[in-house]
Structure 1
Amino acid sequence: MKAITVEPLVADTARFEEIPEPALHEGSVLVEAIAVGVCGTDVEIVHGAYGWAPRGEKRLVLGHESLGRVLDPGPGGSLKEGDLVVGIVRRPDPVPCPNCAVGEWDMCRNGLYTERGIKEIHGFMSERWRIEPEYAMKVAPSLGILGVLLEPTTVVVKAWEQVLAVGHRAFWQPETALVTGAGPIGLLAALIGKQHGLEVHVLDRFETGSKPALVRALGATYHTGTIAGIGFEPDVIVECTGASEVISQALSSIAAGGVVCLTGVGSGGRAVSAPGMASLAAAAVLKNNVVVGTVNANKRHWYRAGQVLAHADPGWLASLITRREPADRFMHALERQPDDIKTIVQFADV
């Protein structure tokens, strides 16, 4: 079979090549790949920024945003041939740390976790892949190709869970939320904010294109410019850009008692000076603000992400998938185009 592989930490080594069929030890469930979402993590791995091959191997199969069709469900379990499934990305560390021991591998304390397509386990960008039944999440047939959005949705499901858990450390009635960045994570964060009944605003740098229309179709408000320019202090800010200047604006613009949730991992930028940081810290103290970082998701979030997608307008969700590339053109999928939101590599039809 063929797969998209890379030699981690070595730039420009990605290729679509023949590899052996997935081994049984990788999981008793055999899956035919339908589609795999492309995100910044994949781009960075291809560029040699990071990534780890399985132990004893030189190359890593890419891809962690999966959608597939069960070919062989293996012995027992609830899956059957033809079911649509996605694969959970992270696996708990073998020690395990206290969090991994209770199934919260997204909160791993010692960093010994592994991740499909990123760290020490092959990913999903292959014509067929195997998975352990407990890490295969069944997707409602009605979602079809939209099931490929499940993994990015888990990230913001967890983000909102963290926001609400922290916010309710005291009496709190949030009314307004700002999402910074209108990529797939930002738009899905806005979707969940609307599902929670909040007045949602989205800030991005594009003045035209599909993003403003998608935000308005949610019943949210689209902004460009600065956070201060939106004209109010949000109760919640979900930061999805990773840009240092936007982060500092968020910290200085959050309402008293509000929560800033950081989901974006950027490449730095203009640093906040020490005096500036002291001012931001003083404001956070005096306004009882909280800043929380969040990454990855555990099985609870995968289940809830399925509920989020099931309650969303399928036409709106479909608009998030702006480009589909066949597997042999995967390098084109990595090249970001101006109006891209979510690009997928498609291996087969649903």
Structure 2
Amino acid sequence: MSRTFSQHLLTWFDTHGRQDLPWKHNPTPYRVWISEIMLQQTQVVTVIPYYQRFIKHFPDMPTLAQASVDEILGLWTGLGYYARARNLHRAAQLVWESHGGELPTTLEALMELPGIGRSTAGAILTLALGQRHPILDGNVKRVLARQEAIPEWPGQSKVEKQLWQQSEKLLPQTRVADYTQAIMDLGATVCTRRHPRCPSCPVKETCRAYAQGNPEAYPRPRPRKRLPLRTTRMLLLLNDQGEVLLERRPPVGLWGGLWSFPECPPQTEVALWCQEQLGWPIEEMMTWPPVRHHFTHFTLHIQPVVARIQGQGCQVMEPSDQVWCKMGTMSKRGLPAPILRMLARLREQLEGISP
């Protein structure tokens, strides 16, 4: 069965596979690594423009290792899951310091780098160097779960172990790079989560879920649970130069290392908090409707407050994790998507009332 599966998949790939992806051209370990990190939990169509900009800015390991985390986060803005960018930066520094500037070429050594698990390491070595390693990303999990009609959620350790065994069993002895790309492509374009295109599938004859007539029942989704709600108040503070105050978030945790607005507890009196915490009196203040942003594990309820600072005495001390920014100079900073949207609205509002 394993040989039949791989043969049918490779035949399909030769005609229908995505062979013109930007990281398929000159697939060095570095270029494949960047693409695989970006593709974690993110669709190809979203990744492509980010990848192209990133590679243009950081074409090799030395440029990435010597860059600042702000430069990297700035190019990552909008792609989400920002821990990936921080791990990428740290891994590049470790490679530069400990591996002579070249990514390790063994599975074990690659997995020691931040942000690289077994599947990502296997994909890098297979796609870039032709080494024979199984992978198990989200698309592959779905394909294999349907092939075997595995009824449980793939996130369970026993199910994941079973899927790893199946992934290794089906891996051919030759054309491993093409096969690896093929099975990822199959999951992304044919064996999709909803409305899979089973009549077009090259391996439907061996698919137990297809034989049962209910492929969408596999794999079972993550058990649903009510997401907790977190609330915060964000202050969009403006000085008399029309600049807005940004604050770098702590390196770990929510939006770690990115730039955001100062926050105060929802029940705090804003004018008093600004005077006590920042030393700046407020001249005028306006509350916007709440903004909600959904994360994997919780929902964030943001209460935005726009306020103007009185007078000239609103300088920040250097060096500082606070900075006054003009509206048109923020593209080089890492900014979370909700912050970008609020900044766009603020800019529209300011331009609307400007003479």
> With structure 2 as the length reference, what TM-score do the two structures score?
0.22
> With structure 1 as the length reference, what TM-score do the two structures score?
0.22
Q: Greater share of strand residues, 1 or 2?
A: 1
